[in-house]
Structure 1
């Protein structure tokens, strides 16, 4: 300031205007230095760093550029210059220095937040992120950084020690607990979910209470985002996955097989003993020929050994159409290309009821893809519904309008 003032007086400037002109000249000089320094930092230093980074093949380098971390660092330069020149304005030094430091702190907080985001993105590029996501921890770190940064900024503006402010926070702990309740619950839930491996990115989960049935696409501090199969998105609170029940289909997907558990309802009045004509007919069915011969020999041997009187079908052992049909279904599934042969496969009878006798198929498709699974299941039941009559069996269903119409159209006797 003195240097500029002496030069202005040397140029013959009116002494009454010298102090004012010196003040504005110095401000203009500092502003010019800040502009030049910022321009040089952005156009030379940052460009040079960007050029070096782009030559590297590391993925994290490009993420740093996309997040503009280095560009944010350039904001430090003007603030440092202003802070350095604050002493040239003794009357305003106590105002300029805190404001410059505040700006530096805000820029630092912004840079740290961006670096934390970069860390998360870099981590997500690795396969382990699907099983051990850290997004929740990153969000907690951001909250801590913001709280600490806010305390430092307020302490700087007040000209007090941050320790004094921190000592007063104890009294506000109850308020913080209320304000950050969801975040704290989410943090605890996130640790539990990660430690117990309950949910991973990409898992198919079902949670009817929240209308969720789809793939997990994001796990954050407060919420788990699920993209449903109709492409809607459901947001589930993280702690709800700990407190409520849900289905995770990961085990099924990893096993390589998806369960088929469905029953055919057989009209009980169509179940009967096999006649000789029926047995001869069954012998010509590819999957049954060996079974019929084997069972006939076994039954004949049993009846002969026990001297059974075969004049009545009630005596001894005999083939039934439902038993033969069950054996056929079992063989059919054993040879079906869409059925997993290494997993449980059985055809069983359930307790009969008002809808007939349930003949349940319990097997696993060899694909976990939804469309393939449904195709395999439909293909099996299409076939079984169509061939039931070949065994003298009727599929049960309640009378329909066409049934009643047929009864009414019959001529009266």
Structure 2
């Protein structure tokens, strides 16, 4: 005899009425069902959790370790008593058709939701595992998993609605079509994030680990996470910025990956030279400038070329402005170029030059354009500072002056005694 059929004969012997027998039998059977289900759940959890932990201990793969951490075995264990309850409810509620139907649907809904939790824990374990693999640690795995889970949740929601209202799929799809505008409005950000995640991934615009700058959101740092709705950025000052994923395709941003992957980091900075200090160099002065080793050979070669040209064209050199001449700014520019060529922190295989920019009211900009070998921020700043320290200190040797804003010192005001 089945356990749930034992109570009813005993209650009938008490002869307390049909209703008492009916509801008393129901109450006792529900209590028995709950106790058995709890015992099954307890045993299933012990077996599955301990079993998976043992497997994870003796296997080399770390994937099963992540399954343990995400409680996959615990969720699977809960399915066992739910399955048992679903099979016993028709027996326990045999005389209560309405409640049998209601409880039966409730258990099936629990099974659907619990199945989603199991799938989610498996996907989370897969995500954690892939992030430990160098091949995948820069990929937006969170976005992929979120898209899959959204599809599964929608499928589960449809299944629950069909189960609750005994509705056909065709009728349900027609209803969803009628309220599609409302659905789009409610899930606008999710839909935009979904589209953006696909475009960002397909076009390889941003990867986890990239350094990006998004001025609109005050983000300037390394991408730590890319999911369906947001991009998490760890800024250079260790603050965190959260950017809507869709903004990566709707707004402009700067990705420094190209610089990091290149052979050098660009140095592009200028100094301002006072225009009034630029002049021609007399022949008598050249010997003193030749004491600067970096440009001694250049002066000899350049002087020979200029003299040859001036003699060939019968140039009157009583005035320096006639013909071709050396200038202190030209020598200084050549000196900087030679200095950069010999600097150990500069990549000689990449473009480098020293050039004039458009003169301004603040002087003549002399720009240094080159690439440092070391791309690490603090080392890059050190190399750039080392170069400009030397350049600025060298300016007086060429009889030039650096432009500086002159602050007029205000006279102290005499306070008038007020009578």
TM-score for the superposition, normalised by structure 2: 0.89
Superimposed CA distance per residue, residues 322-365 of structure 1 (whole angstroms, 9 cap, x where no aligned partner)? 11111100000001111111111111112222112111111111
Structure 1 partner of 2:341? 334
Q: Does 1:32 align with 2:35?
A: yes
Tell me the residue number matched to 1:180.
187
Compare 114-123 and 18-27 and name the one that shifted more. 18-27
Note the alpha carbon deviations across 1:75-113, whole angstroms, 9 max, x for none.
112211211111222114223222221221221121122
Distance 1:138 1:212 in 2: 25
- Which residue does 1:217 correspond to in 2? 224
Work out whether residues 131 and 194 of structure 1, in 8 Å CA contact, stay in contact via their aligned partners in 2: no
- Answering whether residue 120 of structure 2 is matched by residue 117 of structure 1, we say no
1:308–1:45: structure 2 CA closer, same or farther, 3 Å change rule?
closer
Alignment match of 1:73 (pick from 65, 73, 76): 76
What is the 5 A alignment of 1:59-208? Answer: 59-88=62-91, 89-90=93-94, 91=96, 92-130=99-137, 132-208=139-215
Structure 1, residues 40-88: CA drift from partner, whole Å, max 9, x if none? Answer: 1111233123211321111211111111011101111221121111122
The CA distance in 2 between the partners of 1:368 and 1:311, in whole Å, is: 52
Give the direction of change, closer, same or farther, for the CA distance of 1:296–1:255 in structure 2 (3 Å limit).
same
1:136/1:282 Cα in 2 relative to 1: closer, same or farther (>3 Å)?
same
Match for residue 46 of structure 1 among 44, 49, 73: 49
Partner of 1:411: none
Q: 1:320 aligns with which of 327, 330, 336?
A: 327
| Ranges in structure 1 where 5+ consecutive residues have no aligned partner | 406-413
Once the two structures are overlaid, the 10-residue window that deviates more, 393-402 or 251-260, is 393-402
The CA distance in 2 between the partners of 1:309 and 1:251, in whole Å, is 54
| Structure 2: distance between partners of 1:243 and 1:200 | 17
Q: 1:385 aligns with which of 363, 387, 392?
A: 392
Paired residue secondary structure (2:404): coil
The verdict on how the C-alpha distance between 1:2 and 1:188 changes in structure 2, with shifts beyond 3 A counting, is closer
Determine whether 1:14 maps to 2:21: no
Residue aligning to 1:304: 311
Q: Which residue of 1 aligns with 2:262?
A: 255
After superposition, what is the alpha-carbon deviation per residue over 1:103-155, rounded to whole angstroms, capped at 9, x for unaligned?
Answer: 21221121122223233323333334355423223212212222221222233
Comparing 98-107 with 15-24, greater Cα deviation is found at 15-24
| Paired residue secondary structure (1:287) | helix
**CA spacing shift, 1:48–1:115, aligned 2, 3 Å:** closer
1:400 is paired with a residue whose SS is: coil
Indicate the larger mover: 273-282 or 171-180. 273-282
Structure 1 residue 161, shift from structure 2 partner = 4.1
Distance between the aligned counterparts of 2:280 and 2:270, measured in 1? 22
CA distance in 2: counterparts of 1:251 and 1:41, whole angstroms: 53
Mean Cα displacement is larger for which, 125-134 or 266-275?
A: 125-134
Report if the CA contact (8 A) 1:272-1:321 is conserved. yes
TM-score by length of 1: 0.90
Secondary structure (helix, strand or coil) at the match of 2:293 reads coil
